[in-house]
Amino acid sequence: MQKVGLLAGDGRLPTLLSEHVSFHHIVDLAHWPLPLGALDALVEALQGQGCDAVILAGGVDRGRFRALDAGGQWVAARAGADAGDGRLLDAFVAYFESQGLAVVGATDLVPSLRTPVGLLTRGGTTLDPSAGLARARALGRKDLGQGVVQCGERLWLEETAAGTNDLLSRAGDAGIGPRTLFKAAKPQQDLRIDMPAWGLETVLHAAKNDVQTLVFEAEKTLALDFEQAIAQAETLGLTIMGAQG
């Protein structure tokens, strides 16, 4: 049986995982005393506690990837100087695996976190999500973001490194409606890491910015605090869909 360690970043996901899984060891990156470029030290911290597998969960400030040790230099060289977040994370995974640590995904441990297929809130909708999801995947293929918002008939806004909440805020500022969020996994991304996530915070921020419909790629996005998020969406009159294709 694998002895899985958790590298816990920011956000709700690490806490949710810890509620469902008894990890062999947890490294809270918010209190990790070294830069994230000290990868050899991270590997030693996990393996020194007997871990033979690791899960990466939660957000991390990319600016902490500095003061590179030999492991950090290996990752930087593999990712390349112009690497987006996806390529950098892929290089992290390759390094951990090269050091004998198997990398597992959140949904490998807790499959119920995957967004289910179908209309997830009460009521009906005639929305065809295919065009919006295609745009989100096209953006992801460039390693630039994972979501887009359609405002009215013609205006499309794209997610940047600032994240989904920033995208929703820009949609609210656009003053054009109706507004629909589409969020999908990057086609090339390793779903063990950086799977797009949504939850109660997403619902509240969408409502604040008059984004009334939320479409998430089913099975390839994480639904955090699913029941609470859906209940809040219904209270606020939002429509949420898990879609494929």
Residue-level pLDDT at 142: 93
100-143 pLDDT per residue, tens: 999 999 999 999 999 999 999 998 889 999 999 999 999 999 98
Residue-level pLDDT at 168: 98
Mean pLDDT, all residues of the chain: 95
Kindly report whether the global pTM for this prediction surpasses the value 0.85.
yes
- Confidence category of residue 84, pLDDT binned at 50, 70, 90: confident
158-210 pLDDT per residue, tens: 999 899 999 999 999 999 989 999 999 999 988 998 899 999 999 999 999 99
- Confidence category of residue 21, pLDDT binned at 50, 70, 90: very high
DSSP states along 82-134: T--HHHHHHHHHHHHHHTT-EE--HHHH-GGGBPPSEE-SSS------HHHHH
φ/ψ (deg, to 5) at 36:
-70, -10
